[in-house]
Amino acid sequence: MNKYELAVVVSAKIEDDARAEVVDKCKALIERFGGQITNVDDWGKKKLAYEIDKMNEAFYYFIQFDAEGTVPAELESRVRILDNVIRYLCVRRDEA
């Protein structure tokens, strides 16, 4: 099992319930492919470095999880098509 982190940038134009639903879908996808979630960081609303879809702010979430090497590719293909996800990135974390 490797350690990974999924960063998800969610639209600020949606309600709190819809935003929580997007994060829950991401967590469900991780668990569906055999990953085990270790931590979820909610950084809240932050200013974007540049305008995306006429938005200057968005909500940032970082989900740390343990999974096999095939999970990130499967996860990214599913997160890509989720509504209200502006950007995402899945990276492998170092053991340090």
Q: Are the C-beta atoms of residues 33 and 67 closer than 8 Å to each other?
A: yes
What is the C-alpha to C-alpha distance for residues 62 and 43, in angstroms, rounded to an integer? 8
pTM surpassing 0.95?
A: no
Name the residue ranges covered by the structural domains of the chain: 2-68
pLDDT tens, residue by residue, 53-79? 899 999 999 999 999 989 999 999 999
Query: Which CATH code fits 2-68?
Result: 3.30.70.60
Predicted confidence (pLDDT) at residue 4 exceeds the cutoff of 70: yes
Per-residue model confidence as pLDDT tens digits over 24-45: 999 999 999 999 999 999 999 9
